[in-house]
Amino acid sequence: MAKAPDSTAVADKEQEGADTAVGVRRPPAPVAPRASRGFPSAVSRTGRVGALDGLRTLAVALVVVHHVEPDVLPGGAVAVDVFFTISGFVITRLLLAEYVRRGGISLMSFYRRRWLRLVPALLALCAVCALLASTTSLWGFDGSLQAAGLSAAFLTNVVRAMESGPYSELTRPLAHTWSLGVEEQFYLLWPLVLLFVLRRFRARTVLLCTAALCALPLLWRCVLWNPEAAHRIYNGTDTRADQLLAGALVAVALARLRSDDPRLTLLRTWSGRLAWPALALLGLVAWQVPVTEDLGVWTAVWYTVGFLAVAALSATLVMALELRPEARMSRLLALTPPAWVGRNLSYGIYLWHYPVVRLLASLGVEEGRLAATLVLTLLMALLSYYAIEKPFLRRARVGKVPAPAPALAVT
């Protein structure tokens, strides 16, 4: 029941391509003093955060283990919530940087980059699953043709949200793509909302608006909650948006603060102190809390307040990794192996792990199932990255870089 990687390594890929033409990084256009519109750190805070890539690797590993051995990590699906927050953070800071640098946001360019980064690999997965359904008798891929159509249109979460009882076979072969639907629907709407408030309000009001938007899904979940609405709440973009917006809030807050602002020092200090407790609490949930099961009162709490609490913990981690690269947690997560996997393979791992789980189950594999899942998933993710994702990512980077607005071209 779990996503990831934006698209969760997926959004960060735009950091390498947003200001790049033909693979060559360009320096940001000179910015006039007024051009920052109250976001003095927006352009400077666009560098890749290696520790966030490592966090992606950790999150996708939890998802894989959860789907293979749910008794070991009954709450492993919480890693998807972490992915949401990372994605909201990365996407928002890219949009803010573009707005400050160029005086606007090219929505068509943004959507094009997202399509090239996410859709080709997803279509390849859908094609393979549909082919297995039509040419084999593997029960794990029954109904894959319909599921593939819903996944390719990013509608899996919509169908699952409308099912009040057990999930039907309509989406089951590609059930994990529900989170891709949530993220893509958020990516479709959030740039429009952000651009609207950026053009009409001061930076402080933009921050307050983002914070207010974070609270709305919680109120909406409280209105909707009853046991029969569990699928609706779990899969709905409107009911999960606070987890993406929590990351967006961190991006807006940090873009507003100069490097010498004492408030930034305060955030750096407290996010560092709270990072390990936040990670420990998320790990405890993954280890002990079956978040997708009916546990009575606990389920009601989780499906209302719990999602926002996880978003707050995830946002604390994101802020700490951004502001404290020298800290032990950041250095561990930024080690080359986890950072490289998170940056390049986490999306492919997320895409392929669930079909691999169903393939091995259909073949009756029991002994060494987790190891077999990991090996086969990594192979498919590597193939996806080098044969599909990387070539299309190169196309996303190549293109005409829009000239900066005249007001931004002169200091």
Write out pLDDT tens, residues 150-197: 999 999 999 999 988 788 888 989 999 999 999 999 999 999 999 999
Taking the C-alpha atoms of residue 238 and residue 292, their distance in angstroms, rounded to an integer, is 18
The residues near 279 (Cβ < 8 Å, ≥ 6 apart) are 317, 329
- Asked whether the predicted pLDDT for residue 407 surpasses 50, the reply is no
The predicted pLDDT at position 297 comes to 83
For residue 46, pLDDT beyond 60: yes
- Angstrom CA distances, 155 to 87, 148, 179, 180, 279, stand at 19, 10, 10, 9, 31
pLDDT bracket for residue 398 (50, 70, 90): low
Assign 3-state DSSP to the chain and report helix, strand, coil percentages, each to 5. Answer: 75, 0, 25
When pLDDT is cut at 50, 70 and 90, the band that residue 90 belongs to is very high
Share of the chain above pLDDT 70, in %: 87
User: How many distinct helices (H) and strands (E) make up the chain?
Assistant: 19, 2
pLDDT at res. 36? 64
Q: How far is C-alpha 91 from the chain's CA centre?
A: 9
The fraction of the chain above a pLDDT of 90, given in percent, is 75
pTM of the model: 0.87
Record the tokens describing residue 235, joined without a space: 């899969």
Average pLDDT across the chain, whole number? 87
Q: How far is CA 170 from CA 64, 88, 134, 207, in A?
A: 22, 29, 16, 40
Cα angle 7-206-50, degrees, rounded to a multiple of 5: 35
